[in-house]
Amino acid sequence: MKVAVASDHGGFRLKGEIIALFQESGIGYTDFGTHSEIPVDYPELALMVAEAVREGVYDRGVLCCGTGIGMAIAANKVPGIRAALCHDTFSARAAREHNNTNILTMGQRVIGPGLAREIVKVWLQAEFQGGRHARRVDGITSVEKKYIRGSR
């Protein structure tokens, strides 16, 4: 598995914890930035990761900012991306099993490093269950395509 990871300044330390987890676990990753706590704008970082995941260069993505909210909103603007903000392991598992999410977002100002590591582990290990959930994810994709075509 290859994971694209990025953060803004508000999630920089949390991203460091996630990268340490990847290194300890032998998970391939690329750090798209930022590389310090100097303020940056999160939308461009979210876009880089989302496009890399959409294009299939990476299997999944992890984005961190202060709350995780902005990163999720920005990433979800890219067609084919299903980013979920998760601050507990139950939601992380459900996001993969039921919603087939391909990007996880978290907030450094919301959760600590230990919980963040557990969330990432659960999210990476969970698999999409398909079945009735596939029909629902297909429904999301249909809505997305409708708006991409400009029919609304």
Burial of 11 (0-12, 13-18, 19+ CB in 10 A): buried
Exposure string (b/e) for 85-112, b if CB count within 10 Å is 16 or more?
bbbebebbbbbbebbbbbbbbbbbeebe
Which residues does the annotation mark as catalytic? 65, 98
Average pLDDT, the chain: 95
Bridge partner list, 5? 31, 62
The domain defined by 2-148 folds into: Ribose 5-phosphate Isomerase B; Chain: A, (3.40.1400)
pLDDT at residue 147 in the model = 84
pLDDT at residue 150 in the model = 59
Interatomic CA distance for residues 97 and 134, integer angstroms = 10
User: pLDDT digits over 113-152, tens only?
Assistant: 999 999 999 999 999 988 888 888 888 888 888 888 654 4
Domain boundaries, the chain: 2-148
pLDDT at residue 152 in the model = 46
> Does the predicted model carry a pTM greater than 0.85?
yes
pLDDT grade for 46, boundaries at 50, 70 and 90 = very high
